[in-house]
Each structure stands twice: as C-alpha cells, then as structure tokens.
Copies of this chain bind each other. A is one copy, B any other.
Amino acid sequence: MKKVEPRILSGFMELLPPDQIQFNWMVDTIRRVYEEYGFLPLDTPTIELSEVLLAKAGGETEKQIYRFFKGDTDLSLRFDLTVPLARYVSSHYNDLIFPFKRYQISKVFRGERPQKGRFREFYQCDIDIIGNESLDLVYDAEIPTVIYHVFEELQLGKFTIRINNRKVLSGFFESLGLEHEITDILRIIDKMDKMGEEVVKRELLEQGIVEKNIDAIFTFLHTSGTVEEKLASLKKLSNHPLYQEGLEELEIVFSALKEFQVKEEYYTLDLTIARGLDYYTGTVYETILDDYPSLGSICSGGRYENLTEYYTDQHLPGIGISIGLSRLYSQLKEAGILKENHESISSILLVPMDKEVRGYTLDIANYLRENGIKTDVYYQEKGMKQKIKYADRLGIPYVGVIGEEEVAEKKVAFKNLETGTQELITKEELLKRLTK
C-alpha cells in the first residue's frame, strides 16, 4: 500500500506525552486560579459566521483569518476569544449576571507566516469582566491580581506587570496638539523597549513631530520614582481633562492593587505601554519575565468601553487580559525554565508475573484507584526487564511486582526505580507510600 507521510502543518503545535503533561499542568493551574477568583467557564464555537465574527475586524487581522465556505455559508475560525465574548454577552444579555466574570481557555487560529515561537493554532487563556452600563475601576486592579497569582503558581521567576492608561497617553498627546498623530506616535513609542530611544526619536522626527514636542514626550516618558511619585509629577505636566482623568484612574487602580496585596516589585506604571489593539480605552497591561525580557509581553490586555457596539445598543464596558499559552510554553520550554511535571503520570505500575495472579493484581489496582492513586497495569507478555523499562521510560517512579509468593503473603514487591530498592509490603502500606 502506498504510504502518506504522517506529517502536520508547519506552525501547528503537537507535543509528546511528557511535554503535553507539562502543558496541561499549566492549563490546570491557570484554570484553578481563575476559578478561585470567581470567573465562570465559557466555551464558544470554534467556527462562527464570518459576518458576525468579522463585524469589526479589518486590515491585518482579516488577512490572517481561516475563512471558507461550507455550502453557501461564509465561515471563519475564531482568531481570538474577545470578539466571541462580545458576541456571547450581546446575545445572552438577559441570561447573564453582571458584572459577568468569565474565563475561556481555548484554541484560536491565525494563518500568519509561521515564525519562531509563533503558531497558527494556539491556546489563549482569557479572563474578562463585563459590566452592565458601568464597571468599577477596582476590577482593573483585580485583573492584574489574578495574573500575579497565576504567574506565582506557574513558578516562572520574577515578572513585572506593566500598567498604563490610554487616556493618559491620548490626553497628553492631544495637549501637544498631536491628537491626529496619536496612532502613529503610539506605534513608534511601542518600539521603545525593543529599539531604544534614539530610533524612536528619529522615527518621530521623520513623522514630522517637532523637536519641542519630542522633548515634551520624552520628559513625559522619563518621569521617574515610585508609582506615587510618578503620578504626582505627571499631574503637573498638563491640565488636559482626559489626561487628568486617566491619571485619576491610574491612582485608583494602583491604590487598589496595594489593598489586593500584590507585592509592589511585581507591577509598575509604564507610560510606554500602549497596546496595538484599537479597542482599549483605559487601563492597559503587559507582563514581562524579568529574566527573559526578549520573550516580550507574555500576558496583555486592558479596558474597553465599546466592544459590543457592533452587536447591541446596551453599553457593556469590560476589562480583560489574555495569556498566549502555546507561545509562552514553547518559549519557556526552549529557555529551559519549565520544571518537569508528573501530575498526569501514573504513580505506580503494577506487574502481574503471569495470568494466575492477575485477579489479585487487579484487587490492588482497584484499591489504589479508589483512593485516588493513578495506577497503570502491564498486561503484555514480556520479560520483567521490558516491563520495568516501560515504567522507567514513562517516568512512573514505582513498580509493584506480583507473583505467587506475593499473593500467598497478601503483599506486593514494591520497587523504587530511582533508588533500586525493593520491599515486600501490604496494600495498605503501599497506599501510604504513594499518598505522602
């Protein structure tokens, strides 16, 4: 028979079991923390009507969409979880309880040119809080608090959540008479981290921004000190109402973050954070790993006032943040930061020596499983060496060998694969060893 090469598409992730277990542990951890903060699970369809999903989209986003016809229907695969959320909230408005706190951990699809660490199909882990008419600014502090606990639990070392406010940026640039250049300026400022101040300055000049305004922009960006000191200095720079409103919002958010007991060294006010997406209207976030700044932002988001305006007349402001998990995972894996994880691996492999002792072996297996111990049993007729190798290669730490002698004594030969030791113990003792 002619064979087809069993390959997958480039830009798609597929893991071997030990890596998949590590990945799932990250998903489980994120989900657990999200639920600890009262976020409810959601699972929207992968395929949506193009008309609905792309109501707002355009430009780069639209080019990346997996869009196709099935019969006469124009379909698209979701490219993020935010637009489906806007659609969901608009559609189920009457059945939801506000503020609506939801999380969704799902794959999204973007047909961009595959690059190192970029995927065409990848997991996003999103939380959002949607208010009905209004949403208290305290939620703008709750979002980074959740993220703080997520990254703490993921044990990725020191990280910094960078916080800014779009109103501060917009107001400041309007005060310079640069309201029409805001988008371009923000795009250039966004490169500050990667390209440095010189490049940014040159690009701003090329953009037609006069020296005086560039100086003002840099004074603004170079505001230093603690968060409180920065806010105090910034207040003096301009009286523009939107600018002052943004600063007041930041004050509330940072003061709430203290109450939320997020350690101060884990967040900062960073005026260079603008976020490319045009739907953010207030607080914006990015998160970097201090030891791996080159990974860029591993978790970003912000507040949006008008996300549902394409679907409903209701005013439903929201705030949310997203972890791009597939990319984060592959980068952490490559950097060697991730610890091995055994959550989904059996705690023990039971090995019946022959068919006659299988019944007894299964007694033990049932007893362990009833007590929550993941237990694999090896049934192939192979030599003992191969059976042990099966456990060893899978990363199962213990083997319980059962032969006639063990059955007669109602015991199990308990083998520690790491130390090589072996002892004859009862099933109760076995459970105790595996539980601690």
Contact = CB atoms under 8 A, between A and B. Distances in A.
A97 B359 contact: no
Interface string A116-150: 00001100000000010011101100100000010
8 contacts: A1-B310, A5-B52, A9-B45, A36-B375, A66-B70, A134-B380, A136-B381, A138-B358
A44 interface: yes
A291 interface: no
Contact of A20 (B42, B261, B369): B42
A3 interface: yes
B366 A36 contact: no
A260 interface: yes
Nearest to A134: B380
Contacts of A366: 261
Given A16-B95, A97-B393, A51 B4 contact: yes
Nearest to A20: B41
Interface stretch (A83-91, A161-169, A277-285): A83-91
A16 B138 contact: no
Contacts of A199: none
Given A41-B344, A358-B259, A313 B3 contact: yes
A20 B73 CA distance: 27
Contact of A9 (B35, B47, B142, B260): B47
Contacts of A312: 3, 6
A7 interface: yes
B369 A36 contact: yes
A309 B52 CA distance: 42
Interface stretch (A99-107, A204-212, A215-223): A99-107
Interface in A235-275: 256, 259-261
A324 to B, nearest CB: 16
A135 B378 CA distance: 11
A151 interface: no
B90 A121 contact: no
A68 B111 CA distance: 13
Contacts of A73: 9
Nearest to A8: B45
A156 interface: no
Contacts of A374: 35-38
B17 A136 contact: no
Interface of A: 1, 3-9, 12-17, 20-21, 23-24, 35-38, 40-49, 51-52, 55, 66, 68-71, 73, 75, 86-88, 90-92, 95-97, 99, 101-102, 107, 109, 111, 120-121, 131, 134-136, 138-139, 142, 149, 256, 259-261, 309-313, 344-346, 349, 358-359, 362-363, 366, 369, 372-377, 379-381, 390, 393-394
Contacts of A37: 369, 374-376
A87 B6 contact: yes
B3 A17 contact: no
A247 to B, nearest CB: 19
A148 B40 CA distance: 30
Contacts of A121: 45-47
A13 B366 CA distance: 36
Given A8-B49, A37-B369, A134-B380, 20 more contacts: A3-B312, A4-B52, A6-B52, A6-B86, A7-B49, A9-B48, A9-B75, A36-B373, A36-B375, A38-B349, A41-B344, A46-B46, A46-B107, A46-B121, A47-B120, A68-B68, A97-B394, A101-B376, A136-B381, A256-B358
The 3 closest A-B pairs by CB, nearest first: A38-B376, A68-B68, A138-B379
Nearest to A358: B259
Nearest to A68: B68
A108 to B, nearest CB: 10
Contacts of A88: 6, 14
Nearest to A71: B111
